[in-house]
Amino acid sequence: MPLQLITVAALVAAAAITAAVLLPAMRHGRPPTQPAPPATAVVATIDGQPIPVREFALYLGQERAATFTHFRQRFGTADGPHFWTTPHDGQTPASYLRERALADVTRATVELNLAHQFGLVADSGYGSFLHNWERENARRRHAVAAHQVIYGPVQYTESNYFTYVLNNLAAALRDRLTDTRAITTPDSALRSYFTAHRGDFPHQSFASAQEEVRQAYVLDRYRALIERLTGSAHVRTYHSVFDAVPVT
């Protein structure tokens, strides 16, 4: 067979193979398979703080159940091999999940950066968290081996320890913001809050509920502050990594 005919035949065969691989994926609304990025690859930067795949994966895990529920209730979809890659109203569950996870990690990063500004953490990066997690688990292993009393689990999972740290840090940050008068609690504001949320303090006078009112008011102001900072955060997404992070 002449060389030109061999070349044409080879190209036709290659095109047929490519179509056989890509067309089933296209019919189900999913792109060709992408290799998963490494755990250290940067998904996004939030106010300059890099977010690695490993950290982003925690938020994906936290939002997975809510994503299932959303698509089941709104579109009647069921779990299956193409659940994550089948679009509904122009959006796949995978992209919806990634967007929710990005919103969550943005809020958490804003909190961590604020805690760093107020001297509560030396380093707000995820690498520092991983170091502290490993050190805490080592401490717990040694304590158990020495028959010492420990509180909580013998070993924290990465996800559980991250949640534990964030919850404790948020409480400490509220106290620091109040102590430094970044959040103020004037009597007039507390009384107004008490009146507006009277149902939260049934059968109580302002005098008897004042400390509860103060705590609730501080929490309300803290949440408003974090939401405002989150809304103005500078988020830069690296889609070559972001879109390739596995959701399952």
Tell whether 12 is covered by a domain. Answer: no
The DSSP element (H or E) to which 235 belongs, if any, is: strand 235-237
Spatial distance between the Cα atoms of 136 and 76, rounded to a whole number of angstroms: 44
Residue 21 has pLDDT above 60, yes or no: no
Is 149 buried (19+), middle (13-18) or exposed (0-12) by CB count in 10 A?
Answer: exposed
Tell me the per-residue pLDDT of 103-156, one tens digit each, with 9 for 90 and over: 999 999 999 999 999 999 999 999 999 999 999 999 999 999 999 999 999 999
- Determine the pLDDT at residue 60: 97
Residue predicted with more confidence, 214 or 7: 214
* pLDDT for the residue 79: 87
Residue 26 maps to a domain = no
Number of structural domains found in the chain: 1
Tokens of 51: 């977010």
**pLDDT at residue 207 above 90?**
yes
Domain annotation covers residue 22: no
Q: How far apart are CA 126 and CA 116, in angstroms?
A: 13
Does residue 60 fall inside a structural domain? yes
Q: Quote the pLDDT of residue 48.
A: 95
Structure tokens at 32: 């060709």
Q: What is the CATH number of the domain that holds 152?
A: 1.10.4030
In a domain, 110, yes or no: yes
d(CA 247, CA 67): 11
**Domain limits at 114?**
42-242
Q: What is the pLDDT of residues 147-203, one digit of tens each?
A: 999 999 999 999 999 999 999 999 999 999 999 999 999 999 999 999 999 999 998
pLDDT band at 33 (very low <50, low <70, confident <90, very high): low
The per-residue pLDDT for range 52-101, each reduced to its tens digit, is 999 999 999 999 999 999 999 999 998 888 999 999 999 999 999 999 99
Q: pLDDT digits over 62-75, tens only?
A: 999 999 999 999 99
Structural domain includes residue 25:
no
Q: What are the angstrom distances between the C-alpha of 157 and each of 18, 134, 160, 164, 248?
A: 42, 10, 5, 10, 18
